[in-house]
Amino acid sequence: MDTSDWGGVEGHIERRECGCWVWDGAPVDGNVYRIVAEAYGAPLPIEKLYRMPDCKLGKECVNPNHLGTGADFVLALNGRRQEIPEPPRTVRVVRLTERDREFLRSVKVRWD
């Protein structure tokens, strides 16, 4: 697993309706919270971190927007903390073989 970019990390995250994210348990070298945050594009500060008030799962949650400093916690309580926008979803490219193209033509499917 490539933990240096979002594409390598995103597939190991289960998103819950409440906004929390759960790591699938795949082993990583280091702190999973920090690995997810760095791949997400929001490295966590070194200082003590707190769970934000809207986090429903607690320690199980790896959503970087649900962790922050004491100042972030106070801002969240007052509704003034800005969330970090989520990186775009990973796009998977599928390359068609000539056989695939022939089949698609036979069932009259168009592609660009």
Residue 44 to residue 32: CA distance in whole angstroms: 11
pLDDT at 88 over 80: no
Region of poorest pLDDT, from 14-23, 39-48, 86-95, 99-108: 86-95
Mean pLDDT in residue range 100-104: 80
pTM over 0.75: no
pLDDT at 83: 77
Residue pLDDT, tens place only, 31-77: 999 999 999 888 888 889 999 998 999 999 999 999 999 998 999 99
Whether the CB-CB separation of 67 and 47 falls below 8 Å is answered with no
Task: With CA atoms as reference, report the closest residue to 7 among 33, 36, 45.
Answer: 36
